[in-house]
Protein backbone atom coordinates (compact mmCIF):
# COMPACT_ATOMS: atom_id res chain seq x y z
CA UNK A 1 0.00 0.00 0.00
CA UNK A 2 1.31 3.43 -0.99
CA UNK A 3 0.48 6.23 1.47
CA UNK A 4 0.11 9.32 -0.67
CA UNK A 5 1.99 12.35 0.67
CA UNK A 6 0.02 15.55 0.37
CA UNK A 7 2.90 17.97 -0.14
CA UNK A 8 2.58 17.50 -3.87
CA UNK A 9 -0.53 18.62 -5.77
CA UNK A 10 0.15 16.25 -8.66
CA UNK A 11 -0.03 12.56 -7.91
CA UNK A 12 0.74 9.80 -10.36
CA UNK A 13 -0.69 6.47 -9.29
CA UNK A 14 1.79 3.69 -9.96
CA UNK A 15 1.13 1.26 -7.13
CA UNK A 16 -1.78 -1.14 -7.07
CA UNK A 17 -3.05 0.08 -3.69
CA UNK A 18 -2.92 3.72 -2.61
CA UNK A 19 -4.17 5.38 0.55
CA UNK A 20 -5.14 9.02 0.91
CA UNK A 21 -6.09 10.52 4.27
CA UNK A 22 -7.64 13.96 3.84
CA UNK A 23 -8.02 15.91 7.06
CA UNK A 24 -7.09 19.36 5.67
CA UNK A 25 -8.54 21.10 2.65
CA UNK A 26 -6.71 20.03 -0.51
CA UNK A 27 -6.86 20.28 -4.27
CA UNK A 28 -5.20 17.39 -6.06
CA UNK A 29 -4.55 16.26 -9.60
CA UNK A 30 -4.37 12.48 -9.85
CA UNK A 31 -3.31 10.58 -12.94
CA UNK A 32 -3.59 6.85 -13.50
CA UNK A 33 -0.97 5.96 -16.08
CA UNK A 34 -1.69 4.09 -19.30
CA UNK A 35 -2.34 0.35 -18.86
CA UNK A 36 -2.20 0.51 -15.04
CA UNK A 37 -4.82 -1.00 -12.71
CA UNK A 38 -4.94 0.92 -9.44
CA UNK A 39 -7.01 1.17 -6.33
CA UNK A 40 -7.33 4.35 -4.29
CA UNK A 41 -8.68 4.41 -0.75
CA UNK A 42 -9.77 7.78 0.63
CA UNK A 43 -10.64 8.71 4.18
CA UNK A 44 -12.03 12.23 4.08
CA UNK A 45 -12.83 14.40 7.07
CA UNK A 46 -12.26 17.78 5.39
CA UNK A 47 -13.36 19.34 2.12
CA UNK A 48 -11.41 18.44 -0.98
CA UNK A 49 -11.23 18.85 -4.70
CA UNK A 50 -9.90 16.12 -6.99
CA UNK A 51 -9.14 16.16 -10.66
CA UNK A 52 -8.66 12.54 -11.73
CA UNK A 53 -7.47 11.45 -15.18
CA UNK A 54 -7.52 7.84 -16.34
CA UNK A 55 -5.19 7.34 -19.24
CA UNK A 56 -5.72 4.84 -22.06
CA UNK A 57 -6.54 1.26 -20.97
CA UNK A 58 -6.15 2.09 -17.30
CA UNK A 59 -8.60 1.26 -14.54
CA UNK A 60 -9.20 2.78 -11.15
CA UNK A 61 -11.33 1.60 -8.27
CA UNK A 62 -11.90 4.13 -5.50
CA UNK A 63 -13.33 3.47 -2.06
CA UNK A 64 -14.01 6.76 -0.33
CA UNK A 65 -15.43 7.14 3.18
CA UNK A 66 -16.26 10.67 4.29
CA UNK A 67 -17.63 12.55 7.24
CA UNK A 68 -19.05 16.06 7.47
CA UNK A 69 -17.29 17.35 4.37
CA UNK A 70 -17.98 18.62 0.87
CA UNK A 71 -16.22 17.43 -2.25
CA UNK A 72 -15.78 18.44 -5.89
CA UNK A 73 -14.50 15.65 -8.07
CA UNK A 74 -13.89 15.76 -11.79
CA UNK A 75 -12.98 12.69 -13.85
CA UNK A 76 -11.45 12.60 -17.32
CA UNK A 77 -11.74 9.19 -18.91
CA UNK A 78 -9.53 8.46 -21.90
CA UNK A 79 -9.73 5.57 -24.35
CA UNK A 80 -10.92 2.23 -22.92
CA UNK A 81 -10.39 3.36 -19.32
CA UNK A 82 -12.58 2.07 -16.53
CA UNK A 83 -13.63 3.87 -13.34
CA UNK A 84 -15.46 2.32 -10.39
CA UNK A 85 -16.09 4.82 -7.61
CA UNK A 86 -17.76 4.20 -4.22
CA UNK A 87 -18.39 7.42 -2.33
CA UNK A 88 -19.93 7.14 1.15
CA UNK A 89 -20.78 10.05 3.44
CA UNK A 90 -21.96 10.25 7.03
CA UNK A 91 -23.07 13.78 7.66
CA UNK A 92 -24.53 15.95 10.39
CA UNK A 93 -23.43 19.27 8.86
CA UNK A 94 -24.12 20.56 5.34
CA UNK A 95 -22.42 18.36 2.79
CA UNK A 96 -22.39 19.05 -0.96
CA UNK A 97 -20.85 16.39 -3.17
CA UNK A 98 -20.35 17.31 -6.82
CA UNK A 99 -19.12 14.86 -9.43
CA UNK A 100 -18.46 15.42 -13.12
CA UNK A 101 -17.47 12.49 -15.31
CA UNK A 102 -16.17 13.38 -18.76
CA UNK A 103 -16.01 10.44 -21.11
CA UNK A 104 -13.45 12.08 -23.37
CA UNK A 105 -12.57 9.11 -25.54
CA UNK A 106 -14.30 6.01 -26.84
CA UNK A 107 -14.68 2.76 -24.94
CA UNK A 108 -14.53 4.30 -21.46
CA UNK A 109 -16.70 3.09 -18.60
CA UNK A 110 -17.77 4.67 -15.33
CA UNK A 111 -19.75 3.33 -12.41
CA UNK A 112 -20.37 5.82 -9.63
CA UNK A 113 -22.06 4.73 -6.40
CA UNK A 114 -22.94 7.37 -3.82
CA UNK A 115 -24.35 6.45 -0.45
CA UNK A 116 -25.09 8.89 2.30
CA UNK A 117 -26.64 9.09 5.73
CA UNK A 118 -28.09 12.42 6.73
CA UNK A 119 -28.01 12.41 10.51
CA UNK A 120 -29.56 15.76 11.35
CA UNK A 121 -31.47 18.67 9.78
CA UNK A 122 -28.55 19.53 7.52
CA UNK A 123 -28.21 19.48 3.72
CA UNK A 124 -26.82 16.41 2.01
CA UNK A 125 -26.56 16.84 -1.76
CA UNK A 126 -25.23 14.55 -4.46
CA UNK A 127 -24.92 16.16 -7.86
CA UNK A 128 -23.57 13.92 -10.63
CA UNK A 129 -22.97 14.92 -14.25
CA UNK A 130 -22.13 12.20 -16.73
CA UNK A 131 -20.96 13.87 -19.94
CA UNK A 132 -20.61 12.06 -23.28
CA UNK A 133 -19.74 14.38 -26.17
CA UNK A 134 -20.49 13.93 -29.89
CA UNK A 135 -18.86 11.00 -31.72
CA UNK A 136 -17.56 9.39 -28.53
CA UNK A 137 -18.95 5.87 -28.81
CA UNK A 138 -19.03 2.55 -26.95
CA UNK A 139 -19.46 4.19 -23.57
CA UNK A 140 -20.98 2.82 -20.38
CA UNK A 141 -21.97 5.47 -17.82
CA UNK A 142 -23.83 4.43 -14.69
CA UNK A 143 -24.78 6.39 -11.54
CA UNK A 144 -26.47 5.02 -8.42
CA UNK A 145 -27.22 7.21 -5.42
CA UNK A 146 -28.96 6.56 -2.14
CA UNK A 147 -29.50 8.76 0.91
CA UNK A 148 -31.08 7.67 4.19
CA UNK A 149 -32.60 10.53 6.15
CA UNK A 150 -32.56 9.96 9.87
CA UNK A 151 -34.22 13.23 10.72
CA UNK A 152 -35.79 16.11 8.76
CA UNK A 153 -32.64 16.76 6.77
CA UNK A 154 -32.71 18.40 3.38
CA UNK A 155 -31.35 15.72 1.06
CA UNK A 156 -31.15 15.99 -2.69
CA UNK A 157 -29.84 13.88 -5.55
CA UNK A 158 -29.35 15.50 -8.93
CA UNK A 159 -28.37 12.92 -11.55
CA UNK A 160 -27.57 14.41 -14.97
CA UNK A 161 -26.70 12.45 -18.06
CA UNK A 162 -25.60 14.88 -20.76
CA UNK A 163 -25.40 12.70 -23.85
CA UNK A 164 -24.60 13.93 -27.31
CA UNK A 165 -23.65 10.62 -28.89
CA UNK A 166 -25.15 7.33 -30.07
CA UNK A 167 -23.98 3.83 -29.17
CA UNK A 168 -23.71 4.34 -25.45
CA UNK A 169 -25.24 2.73 -22.38
CA UNK A 170 -26.24 5.08 -19.59
CA UNK A 171 -28.32 4.65 -16.45
CA UNK A 172 -29.05 6.27 -13.14
CA UNK A 173 -30.93 5.45 -9.98
CA UNK A 174 -31.70 7.66 -7.02
CA UNK A 175 -33.33 6.94 -3.66
CA UNK A 176 -33.93 9.23 -0.70
CA UNK A 177 -35.88 7.89 2.22
CA UNK A 178 -35.95 6.05 5.50
CA UNK A 179 -34.47 2.70 6.43
CA UNK A 180 -36.05 -0.32 4.75
CA UNK A 181 -38.88 -1.45 7.06
CA UNK A 182 -38.56 -5.11 6.12
CA UNK A 183 -34.84 -5.12 6.92
CA UNK A 184 -35.51 -3.43 10.26
CA UNK A 185 -38.21 -5.99 11.12
CA UNK A 186 -36.00 -8.91 10.12
CA UNK A 187 -33.14 -7.76 12.34
CA UNK A 188 -35.48 -6.85 15.22
CA UNK A 189 -37.06 -10.30 15.04
CA UNK A 190 -33.69 -11.71 16.05
CA UNK A 191 -33.64 -9.60 19.21
CA UNK A 192 -31.46 -6.76 17.93
CA UNK A 193 -32.37 -3.37 19.41
CA UNK A 194 -33.04 -0.26 17.33
CA UNK A 195 -29.67 1.36 17.93
CA UNK A 196 -27.74 -1.72 16.88
CA UNK A 197 -30.04 -2.18 13.87
CA UNK A 198 -29.15 1.33 12.74
CA UNK A 199 -25.46 0.63 13.22
CA UNK A 200 -25.63 -2.58 11.21
CA UNK A 201 -27.74 -1.15 8.40
CA UNK A 202 -25.73 2.05 8.09
CA UNK A 203 -22.46 0.20 7.97
CA UNK A 204 -24.04 -2.00 5.32
CA UNK A 205 -25.10 1.06 3.32
CA UNK A 206 -21.75 2.85 3.60
CA UNK A 207 -19.46 -0.12 3.03
CA UNK A 208 -21.70 -2.86 1.65
CA UNK A 209 -20.99 -2.44 -2.04
CA UNK A 210 -17.29 -1.66 -1.68
CA UNK A 211 -14.67 -4.28 -2.42
CA UNK A 212 -12.74 -3.86 0.81
CA UNK A 213 -9.29 -5.18 1.54
CA UNK A 214 -6.65 -3.54 3.76
CA UNK A 215 -8.95 -0.60 4.56
CA UNK A 216 -11.81 -2.70 6.01
CA UNK A 217 -10.63 -2.58 9.60
CA UNK A 218 -9.95 1.15 9.59
CA UNK A 219 -13.25 1.97 7.86
CA UNK A 220 -15.24 -0.10 10.37
CA UNK A 221 -13.36 1.51 13.25
CA UNK A 222 -14.05 4.99 11.88
CA UNK A 223 -17.78 4.34 11.44
CA UNK A 224 -18.01 3.14 15.04
CA UNK A 225 -16.09 6.25 16.20
CA UNK A 226 -18.19 8.64 14.13
CA UNK A 227 -21.49 7.14 15.14
CA UNK B 1 -42.95 -21.68 26.56
CA UNK B 2 -46.71 -21.32 26.36
CA UNK B 3 -48.46 -19.12 23.82
CA UNK B 4 -52.09 -18.12 24.09
CA UNK B 5 -53.86 -16.11 21.41
CA UNK B 6 -57.24 -14.84 22.60
CA UNK B 7 -59.99 -13.48 20.36
CA UNK B 8 -57.45 -11.76 18.16
CA UNK B 9 -58.79 -9.47 15.42
CA UNK B 10 -56.22 -7.90 13.10
CA UNK B 11 -56.58 -5.63 10.11
CA UNK B 12 -54.42 -3.86 7.61
CA UNK B 13 -55.68 -0.80 5.70
CA UNK B 14 -59.13 -1.44 7.20
CA UNK B 15 -59.19 -4.95 5.75
CA UNK B 16 -59.79 -7.65 8.34
CA UNK B 17 -57.15 -10.39 8.15
CA UNK B 18 -57.49 -12.26 11.44
CA UNK B 19 -60.97 -12.64 12.76
CA UNK B 20 -61.57 -13.69 16.38
CA UNK B 21 -58.54 -15.98 16.25
CA UNK B 22 -57.98 -18.29 19.21
CA UNK B 23 -55.14 -20.74 19.79
CA UNK B 24 -53.25 -22.10 22.77
CA UNK B 25 -49.90 -23.84 22.37
CA UNK B 26 -48.64 -25.33 25.57
CA UNK B 27 -45.01 -25.79 26.59
CA UNK B 28 -43.31 -28.39 24.38
CA UNK B 29 -46.26 -28.83 22.00
CA UNK B 30 -45.99 -28.82 18.21
CA UNK B 31 -48.96 -27.35 16.33
CA UNK B 32 -49.44 -27.09 12.58
CA UNK B 33 -51.71 -24.66 10.77
CA UNK B 34 -52.77 -25.49 7.24
CA UNK B 35 -55.02 -23.41 5.06
CA UNK B 36 -55.61 -22.04 1.57
CA UNK B 37 -53.58 -19.14 0.20
CA UNK B 38 -54.46 -15.70 1.50
CA UNK B 39 -56.18 -16.90 4.64
CA UNK B 40 -53.89 -15.02 7.02
CA UNK B 41 -51.35 -17.65 8.05
CA UNK B 42 -48.25 -15.58 7.33
CA UNK B 43 -49.95 -12.49 8.77
CA UNK B 44 -50.39 -14.45 12.00
CA UNK B 45 -46.67 -15.16 12.17
CA UNK B 46 -45.74 -11.50 11.68
CA UNK B 47 -48.38 -10.31 14.14
CA UNK B 48 -46.98 -12.67 16.78
CA UNK B 49 -43.59 -10.99 16.30
CA UNK B 50 -45.15 -7.51 16.50
CA UNK B 51 -45.05 -6.22 12.92
CA UNK B 52 -46.33 -2.65 13.26
CA UNK B 53 -47.86 -2.71 9.77
CA UNK B 54 -50.76 -4.68 11.21
CA UNK B 55 -53.38 -3.12 13.44
CA UNK B 56 -54.59 -5.15 16.42
CA UNK B 57 -58.30 -4.28 16.63
CA UNK B 58 -59.05 -6.46 19.65
CA UNK B 59 -57.90 -9.51 21.55
CA UNK B 60 -54.57 -10.33 23.15
CA UNK B 61 -51.45 -12.49 22.86
CA UNK B 62 -49.92 -14.03 25.98
CA UNK B 63 -46.51 -15.58 26.31
CA UNK B 64 -46.19 -17.58 29.52
CA UNK B 65 -49.36 -15.78 30.76
CA UNK B 66 -47.96 -12.28 30.14
CA UNK B 67 -49.43 -10.06 27.44
CA UNK B 68 -46.86 -9.19 24.79
CA UNK B 69 -49.01 -6.79 22.77
CA UNK B 70 -47.09 -3.76 24.01
CA UNK B 71 -43.67 -5.27 23.48
CA UNK B 72 -41.48 -4.21 20.56
CA UNK B 73 -40.39 -6.90 18.14
CA UNK B 74 -36.85 -7.14 19.51
CA UNK B 75 -38.18 -7.65 23.05
CA UNK B 76 -40.52 -10.44 21.91
CA UNK B 77 -37.52 -12.10 20.26
CA UNK B 78 -35.49 -11.72 23.44
CA UNK B 79 -38.30 -13.42 25.35
CA UNK B 80 -37.61 -16.44 23.16
CA UNK B 81 -39.83 -16.04 20.08
CA UNK B 82 -38.31 -16.88 16.72
CA UNK B 83 -39.80 -16.67 13.25
CA UNK B 84 -38.27 -18.82 10.56
CA UNK B 85 -39.27 -16.76 7.51
CA UNK B 86 -40.90 -17.99 4.36
CA UNK B 87 -38.76 -15.60 2.29
CA UNK B 88 -35.72 -14.57 4.34
CA UNK B 89 -34.30 -11.20 3.32
CA UNK B 90 -30.85 -10.64 1.99
CA UNK B 91 -28.86 -7.68 3.21
CA UNK B 92 -25.72 -6.56 1.44
CA UNK B 93 -22.91 -5.41 3.70
CA UNK B 94 -23.79 -7.41 6.83
CA UNK B 95 -22.01 -10.73 7.09
CA UNK B 96 -23.87 -13.76 8.38
CA UNK B 97 -21.51 -14.16 11.33
CA UNK B 98 -21.66 -10.47 12.25
CA UNK B 99 -25.46 -10.58 12.21
CA UNK B 100 -25.78 -13.77 14.27
CA UNK B 101 -23.09 -12.69 16.74
CA UNK B 102 -24.80 -9.32 17.26
CA UNK B 103 -28.15 -11.07 17.83
CA UNK B 104 -26.58 -13.58 20.19
CA UNK B 105 -24.76 -10.94 22.22
CA UNK B 106 -27.99 -8.97 22.64
CA UNK B 107 -29.43 -11.80 24.72
CA UNK B 108 -26.29 -12.60 26.72
CA UNK B 109 -25.11 -10.77 29.81
CA UNK B 110 -21.49 -11.20 28.76
CA UNK B 111 -20.64 -11.14 25.02
CA UNK B 112 -19.66 -14.49 23.57
CA UNK B 113 -15.94 -14.89 22.85
CA UNK B 114 -14.93 -15.06 19.20
CA UNK B 115 -13.41 -18.54 19.54
CA UNK B 116 -16.52 -20.02 21.18
CA UNK B 117 -18.75 -18.32 18.63
CA UNK B 118 -16.81 -19.64 15.65
CA UNK B 119 -16.70 -23.12 17.14
CA UNK B 120 -20.47 -23.18 17.63
CA UNK B 121 -21.09 -21.77 14.17
CA UNK B 122 -18.79 -24.31 12.51
CA UNK B 123 -20.49 -27.18 14.29
CA UNK B 124 -24.00 -26.02 13.37
CA UNK B 125 -23.00 -25.25 9.78
CA UNK B 126 -21.61 -28.79 9.52
CA UNK B 127 -24.78 -30.28 11.02
CA UNK B 128 -26.84 -28.49 8.39
CA UNK B 129 -24.50 -29.55 5.56
CA UNK B 130 -23.86 -25.92 4.67
CA UNK B 131 -20.61 -24.58 3.25
CA UNK B 132 -18.33 -23.05 5.88
CA UNK B 133 -17.88 -19.88 3.81
CA UNK B 134 -21.56 -19.05 4.47
CA UNK B 135 -20.38 -17.65 7.77
CA UNK B 136 -18.43 -14.86 6.07
CA UNK B 137 -20.78 -14.13 3.21
CA UNK B 138 -23.26 -11.28 3.30
CA UNK B 139 -26.56 -12.15 4.93
CA UNK B 140 -28.43 -14.41 2.48
CA UNK B 141 -26.75 -12.59 -0.43
CA UNK B 142 -26.56 -14.92 -3.41
CA UNK B 143 -27.95 -17.82 -1.33
CA UNK B 144 -30.32 -20.22 -3.05
CA UNK B 145 -33.82 -20.66 -1.61
CA UNK B 146 -32.69 -23.81 0.18
CA UNK B 147 -29.56 -22.18 1.58
CA UNK B 148 -31.65 -19.33 2.96
CA UNK B 149 -33.92 -21.77 4.76
CA UNK B 150 -30.93 -23.62 6.18
CA UNK B 151 -29.55 -20.27 7.28
CA UNK B 152 -32.77 -19.59 9.17
CA UNK B 153 -32.43 -22.89 10.99
CA UNK B 154 -28.77 -22.11 11.66
CA UNK B 155 -29.90 -18.88 13.35
CA UNK B 156 -32.44 -20.85 15.40
CA UNK B 157 -29.76 -23.27 16.59
CA UNK B 158 -27.44 -20.41 17.54
CA UNK B 159 -30.05 -18.22 19.26
CA UNK B 160 -31.84 -21.08 21.04
CA UNK B 161 -35.43 -19.74 21.11
CA UNK B 162 -38.23 -21.21 23.20
CA UNK B 163 -41.08 -20.61 20.79
CA UNK B 164 -40.44 -21.17 17.09
CA UNK B 165 -42.70 -20.41 14.13
CA UNK B 166 -41.82 -22.09 10.85
CA UNK B 167 -43.53 -20.25 8.01
CA UNK B 168 -43.58 -22.58 4.99
CA UNK B 169 -40.22 -24.05 5.89
CA UNK B 170 -40.45 -26.64 3.13
CA UNK B 171 -40.80 -24.17 0.25
CA UNK B 172 -37.50 -23.91 -1.61
CA UNK B 173 -36.03 -27.03 0.02
CA UNK B 174 -35.25 -30.13 -2.02
CA UNK B 175 -36.04 -33.56 -0.56
CA UNK B 176 -32.55 -34.14 0.88
CA UNK B 177 -32.29 -30.63 2.32
CA UNK B 178 -35.76 -30.91 3.88
CA UNK B 179 -34.66 -34.06 5.66
CA UNK B 180 -31.42 -32.47 6.91
CA UNK B 181 -33.26 -29.37 8.13
CA UNK B 182 -36.00 -31.38 9.86
CA UNK B 183 -33.45 -33.71 11.48
CA UNK B 184 -31.74 -30.63 12.92
CA UNK B 185 -35.04 -29.23 14.18
CA UNK B 186 -36.00 -32.56 15.77
CA UNK B 187 -32.62 -32.76 17.44
CA UNK B 188 -33.06 -29.21 18.73
CA UNK B 189 -36.52 -30.05 20.09
CA UNK B 190 -35.27 -33.18 21.84
CA UNK B 191 -32.45 -31.16 23.44
CA UNK B 192 -34.88 -28.35 24.36
CA UNK B 193 -38.13 -30.18 25.21
CA UNK B 194 -39.85 -27.05 26.57
CA UNK B 195 -39.67 -25.36 23.17
CA UNK B 196 -43.06 -24.93 21.53
CA UNK B 197 -43.51 -24.93 17.78
CA UNK B 198 -46.01 -23.53 15.32
CA UNK B 199 -45.65 -24.88 11.78
CA UNK B 200 -47.40 -23.01 8.99
CA UNK B 201 -47.57 -25.12 5.87
CA UNK B 202 -49.51 -26.03 2.76
CA UNK B 203 -48.18 -29.55 2.52
CA UNK B 204 -48.13 -32.58 4.75
CA UNK B 205 -44.59 -33.64 3.85
CA UNK B 206 -42.92 -31.49 6.52
CA UNK B 207 -45.29 -33.01 9.10
CA UNK B 208 -43.97 -36.46 8.17
CA UNK B 209 -40.64 -35.32 9.61
CA UNK B 210 -41.77 -33.06 12.46
CA UNK B 211 -44.79 -34.73 14.00
CA UNK B 212 -47.39 -32.26 15.25
CA UNK B 213 -49.52 -32.83 18.35
CA UNK B 214 -52.33 -30.86 16.71
CA UNK B 215 -53.23 -29.84 13.17
CA UNK B 216 -55.55 -26.87 12.56
CA UNK B 217 -57.37 -25.71 9.46
CA UNK B 218 -57.37 -21.95 9.03
CA UNK B 219 -59.82 -20.19 6.77
CA UNK B 220 -60.87 -16.54 6.49
CA UNK B 221 -58.62 -15.49 9.32
CA UNK B 222 -59.73 -17.97 11.93
CA UNK B 223 -59.31 -21.62 12.89
CA UNK B 224 -62.21 -23.60 11.54
CA UNK B 225 -61.23 -27.05 12.68
CA UNK B 226 -58.58 -29.03 14.54
CA UNK B 227 -57.41 -32.60 14.72
CA UNK B 228 -54.32 -34.75 14.74
CA UNK B 229 -51.91 -35.71 11.96
CA UNK B 230 -54.68 -37.66 10.22
CA UNK B 231 -56.37 -34.30 9.46
CA UNK B 232 -53.32 -33.26 7.43
CA UNK B 233 -53.55 -36.54 5.54
CA UNK B 234 -57.21 -35.86 4.75
CA UNK B 235 -56.42 -32.30 3.64
CA UNK B 236 -53.81 -33.60 1.25
CA UNK B 237 -56.15 -36.25 -0.11
CA UNK B 238 -59.47 -34.41 -0.28
CA UNK B 239 -58.75 -30.68 0.00
CA UNK B 240 -59.69 -28.28 2.79
CA UNK B 241 -63.48 -28.28 2.49
CA UNK B 242 -63.93 -32.04 2.45
CA UNK B 243 -61.37 -32.58 5.19
CA UNK B 244 -63.15 -30.00 7.33
CA UNK B 245 -66.46 -31.82 6.82
CA UNK B 246 -64.98 -34.96 8.38
CA UNK B 247 -64.07 -33.29 11.70
CA UNK B 248 -66.48 -34.63 14.33
CA UNK B 249 -68.41 -32.09 16.38
CA UNK B 250 -67.63 -29.10 14.11
CA UNK B 251 -70.35 -26.95 12.63
CA UNK B 252 -69.73 -27.86 9.03
CA UNK B 253 -72.54 -25.96 7.41
- A42, part of any domain: yes
Report how many domains make up chain A. 1
pLDDT interval class at A9 (50, 70, 90): confident
In this model, does residue B252 exceed pLDDT 70? no
Mean pLDDT of B184-194: 96
What is the extent of the structural domain holding A57?
2-178
**Backbone conformation region of residue B240, classed left if phi is above 0, alpha if psi is from -120 to 50, else beta:** alpha
ipTM over 0.90: yes
User: Whole-number mean pLDDT of chain B?
Assistant: 92
Mean pLDDT of A74-95: 96
DSSP-based three-state secondary structure for B239:
coil
Q: Are A130 and A103 in contact (CB under 8 A)?
A: yes
**CA A196/CA B78 separation, integer angstroms:** 14
In this model, does residue B250 exceed pLDDT 60? no
pLDDT interval class at A5 (50, 70, 90): low
- A185, part of any domain: no
Q: What is the pLDDT of residues A135-189, one digit of tens each?
A: 999 999 999 999 999 888 899 999 999 999 988 999 999 999 999 999 999 999 9
What is the extent of the structural domain holding B219?
3-89+161-245
- B153, part of any domain: no
Q: Burial of B37 by CB count in 10 Å (0-12 exposed, 13-18 middle, 19+ buried)? A: exposed
**CA A179/CA A30 separation, integer angstroms:** 36
Q: Are A208 and B106 within 8 A, CB to CB?
A: no
In this model, does residue B253 exceed pLDDT 60? no
What CATH number is given to the structural domain containing B172? 3.40.50.300
**pLDDT value of position B235:** 87
Q: What is the pLDDT of residues B20-77, one digit of tens each?
A: 999 999 999 999 999 988 899 999 999 999 999 999 999 999 999 999 999 999 999 9
DSSP-based three-state secondary structure for A184:
helix
In this model, does residue A7 exceed pLDDT 60? no
Q: Are B93 and A185 within 8 A, CB to CB?
A: no
Q: What is the DSSP string of B164-181?
A: EEEESTTTT--HHHHHHH
Q: Are B74 and A188 within 8 A, CB to CB?
A: yes
Q: Are A40 and A18 in contact (CB under 8 A)?
A: yes
Q: Are A183 and B89 within 8 A, CB to CB?
A: yes
Q: Are A111 and A209 in contact (CB under 8 A)?
A: no
Nearest CA in chain A to B78: A191
**pLDDT value of position B118:** 95
In this model, does residue B217 exceed pLDDT 50? yes
Q: Are B72 and A188 within 8 A, CB to CB?
A: yes
**pLDDT value of position A1:** 66
Which of A180, A184, A185 to mutate to test binding with chain B, by most B CBs within 10 Å of its CB?
Answer: A185
**pLDDT value of position B24:** 97
- B144, part of any domain: no
Report how many domains make up chain B. 1
> Rounded to a whole number, what is the distance in Å from the CA of A198 to chain B's nearest CA?
12
The closest CB to that of B94, out of A193, A200, A209, belongs to A200
Q: What is the pLDDT of residues B107-161, one digit of tens each?
A: 898 999 999 999 999 999 999 999 999 998 999 988 988 999 999 999 999 999 9
Residue numbers in B near A192 (CB within 8 A): 74, 102-103, 106
Mean pLDDT of A102-127: 96
- B186, part of any domain: yes
Q: Are A191 and B107 within 8 A, CB to CB?
A: yes
- B138, part of any domain: no
Amino acid sequence: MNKIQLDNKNIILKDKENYLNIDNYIELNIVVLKNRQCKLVILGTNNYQLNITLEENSSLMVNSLNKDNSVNICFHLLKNSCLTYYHSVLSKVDSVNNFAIYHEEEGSQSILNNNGINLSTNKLFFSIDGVIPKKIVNINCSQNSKIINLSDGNSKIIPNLIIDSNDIIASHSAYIGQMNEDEVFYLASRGINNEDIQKLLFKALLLGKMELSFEREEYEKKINEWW
Amino acid sequence: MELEIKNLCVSVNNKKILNDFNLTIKKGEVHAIMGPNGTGKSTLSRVLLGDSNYCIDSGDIFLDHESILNLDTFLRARKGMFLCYQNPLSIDGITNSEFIRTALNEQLEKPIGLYDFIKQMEQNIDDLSMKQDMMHRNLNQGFSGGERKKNEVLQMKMLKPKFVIFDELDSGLDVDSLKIVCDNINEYLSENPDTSVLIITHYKRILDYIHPDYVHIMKNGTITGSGDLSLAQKIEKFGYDEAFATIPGEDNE
